[in-house]
Amino acid sequence: MNNAVQFKAAASAMAAIGATAHFDWRLAGYDLQCSQAHVEMLYRQNIICQADASQLQSGLEQLSQQVRVGEFVAPPDAEDIHTALELQLEALIGPVAGWLGTARARNDLAVTALKLWLRDQIDTLLGKLKVLLEAFRQQALRHAATVMPGYSHLQVAQPITFGHLNLAYAETLLRDGERLLFARAALCECPLGSAALAGTSFSIDRTYTAQRLGFERPSANSIDSIGERGFALDFLGAASSLALNLSRFAAEVVFWSTQSVGFIVLPKELVSGSAAMPHKRNPDAAELIRAKSGRVLGNLQALQVVVKGLPLTYFRDLQEDKEPLFDSADSLHLSLDAAISIVNLMQPQPEAMARAASIGFITSSDLADWLVINLNIPFREAHHLVARLVQCAQNNNLELGELPLELRVAIDPRLAVKHWPSFSLEQSVKARRSYGGTAPERVRQAAEEFALRLSKLNEINNN
């Protein structure tokens, strides 16, 4: 291969590896918002004249309209969306477009546009998360007294209510909402005006630009502003937690909907059939939520690896900050939409839940509590006694409440009581009245309290 061919191949490789316009087009509208605010500030500070400012704003508005209706097409020679928009602006208004780059650089423009995009994504995700949380709350109210088995190690452990379990996922996901709010708070500083990395010699008003774009204040250090991607990592951390917890819920849905368990029935819109086994109803929506969590978790690690070895300020490595963010936001939008449909449309099967809760010796812990309360036996000792009673009942094919006096006395003389208790599933859950417990009255109370906490999350976000 001769040198000319090699150089041509090198140029082609560089253009391919450096191109981002095919994915950072999402930032077009935000880039233009930044430019419009920047032009306003330049005119207010007498850095550009009114005629040039008007011409710039007119061109930027034309571009904004093209972006809104989907007519804008990036020129093929533009390596990123920011260059593409600048080239198109020049095509629209001529050399006056050159004033737009005054007192700014692509470095501060790109990171500001990314922050604006991310802020809108978080707000939309929070809106969907609130819908999901309310769906869980409504299921909790409907099924505050619907008894089902609680599992530990996937072994039947203690009776709980389906409402209580729904609130458990609501609590988990509410914390993810708070994590998203934390990530949003990290977007409060505006980098625009930091220029390439050292600031600018023009007498700009960064506070005006920041407030015009909805930020609380301009960023305090121009070097930090350009090279910092902590805000992106904060979002990906919150996104990873949300995806992980949605995945755990999805795994539960897969388990609940199996034929051998049958705790819920999903509508046909959320399941698929099998070409070879027509009786099957595969819970595809839940399985795909579970799978997409892997992408989001991987995106966090991907950006961490990109950033970990970078000194300040800007390196070309940082063009890789966008795809992990875009993909994670997309995956969460899809996952939340599917989860909302699952929670709203799943049909709990109380009879199947009650049957599953009736196996084994699920109320054995209730008997241990009874021994403590009524016979004054220390709890640890009561626990060991009940373990022996369970073994005795198994050996004699009896329930705990059916053990006759002679068998009980053979284990411990203190068990020679006339009225030996037998606990129903309903009695068991009603007895769990401690704050945060599974008693129906507590579940209903918790659902009402959760509504207040959810409304406060709304207030925080609206502010």
Catalytic residues: 153, 274
Residue 347 Cα to chain centre, angstroms: 24
- Strands (DSSP E) contained in 224-350 are 264-265, 347-348
Residues whose CB is less than 8 angstroms from the CB of residue 413 and which lie 6 or more positions away in sequence, other chains included: none
Residues whose CB is less than 8 angstroms from the CB of residue 155 and which lie 6 or more positions away in sequence, other chains included: none
Longest dimension (CA), the chain: 104
DSSP 152: E
- Strands (DSSP E) contained in 55-109 are none
Structure tokens at 29: 């509208």
Give the span between the Cα atoms of 270 and 253, in whole angstroms.
11
For tokens 């799978």, the residue is: 291
Give the span between the Cα atoms of 103 and 41, in whole angstroms.
10
The β-bridge relationship of strands 217-218 and 189-190 is parallel
Residues whose CB is less than 8 angstroms from the CB of residue 360 and which lie 6 or more positions away in sequence, other chains included: 156
For tokens 């590896």, the residue is: 17
Q: Which H/E stretch holds residue 461? A: helix 440-462
Q: Which H/E stretch holds residue 190? A: strand 189-190
Q: Compute CA distances 221 → 197, 206, 212, 226, 228, whole Å.
A: 9, 12, 19, 9, 10
With beta carbons less than 8 A apart as the criterion, state whether 423 and 367 touch.
yes
For tokens 């795809």, the residue is: 323
For tokens 């966008």, the residue is: 322
Q: Which residues pair with 348 in a beta bridge?
A: 264
Q: Which long-range contacts (CB under 8 A, 24 or more apart) does 11-15 make?
A: 15/79
